[in-house]
């Protein structure tokens, strides 16, 4: 069935290092992908998005890469900070969702940043 | 703070009781979503409103669940005859369509525990 999954459930990094969080998706018809950050006790917070006609998009300290050939999505965080510690979700929006956000989320990766 | 408010933040109830949650979206947003999130999992789509019209309901939304958005502003989600399997975080999100894809802004959720 349709699903969005993650390779690593937990990622530990040193403060200042770069982090890479990976995600595999299975619905080749999805045309829009989003990364969310969720801190304890809060709802998901939008980080960055990418459309299927792109393979890379950069934000402030974050970069999303999309490889449609192997249906893989990654989030790169530069100079990881303690405030980046959270659970990160990738989500896809199938193109047949009627133009609204019937998102399919993965299970999440916990990022732990150590000083 | 994303501007989406949910009340209550926590709800503990006994099996068989009815519960109602409220969501106040960002005021200019005409789209409102309900998602459900269980521990360690990503959010799952439940239902979607455009203004006061409920346009889609997930198969996850059994007959015991009902959502309303009577004036196209705040929304309520009611669960009747709660079951232990209903224990989860119920997330509300809102958005305004400004293009093909819009950003969802999530509230902090209502954590439901059914004893």
Please tell me which of the candidates A4, A101, A108 has its beta carbon nearest to residue B102: A101
Q: Is A106 on the interface with B (CB under 8 A)?
A: yes
Partner-chain contact B106 A101, CB within 8 Å: no
Torsion angle, alpha carbons of A75, A79, A85, A88, to 10:
0
A3, A23, A44, A109: best mutation site toward chain B, by most B Cβ within 10 Å? A44
CA–CA separation, B113 and A54 (whole Å): 42
Q: Along the 115 residues of chain B, how does pLDDT read in single tens digits?
A: 779 999 999 999 999 999 999 999 999 899 999 999 998 889 999 999 999 999 989 988 899 999 999 988 999 999 999 999 999 999 999 988 766 677 889 999 999 999 9
Q: Do B106 and A107 touch (CB under 8 A)?
A: no
């Amino acid at each position: 069935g349709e699903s969005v999954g993650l390779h690593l459930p937990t990622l530990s990094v040193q403060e200042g290092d770069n982090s890479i969080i990976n995600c595999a998706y299975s619905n080749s018809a999805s045309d829009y992908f989003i990364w969310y950050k969720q801190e304890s006790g809060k709802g998901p917070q939008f980080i960055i998005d990418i459309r299927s006609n792109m393979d890379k998009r950069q934000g402030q300290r974050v970069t999303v890469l999309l490889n449609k050939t192997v249906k893989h999505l990654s989030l790169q965080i530069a100079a990881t900070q303690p405030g980046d510690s959270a659970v990160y979700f990738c989500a896809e929006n199938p193109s047949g969702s009627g133009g609204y956000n019937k998102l399919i989320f993965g299970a999440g990766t916990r990022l732990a940043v150590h000083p | 703070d994303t501007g989406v408010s949910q009340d209550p933040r926590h709800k503990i109830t006994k099996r068989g009781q009815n519960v109602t949650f409220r969501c106040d979206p960002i005021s200019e947003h005409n789209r409102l979503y309900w998602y459900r999130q269980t521990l360690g999992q990503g959010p799952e789509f439940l239902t979607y409103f455009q203004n006061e019209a409920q346009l889609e309901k997930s198969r996850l939304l059994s007959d015991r669940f009902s959502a309303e958005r009577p004036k196209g502003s705040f929304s309520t989600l009611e669960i009747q005859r709660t079951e232990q399997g209903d224990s989860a975080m119920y997330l509300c999100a809102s958005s305004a369509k400004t293009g093909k894809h819009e950003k969802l802004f999530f509230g902090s959720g209502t954590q439901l525990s059914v004893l």
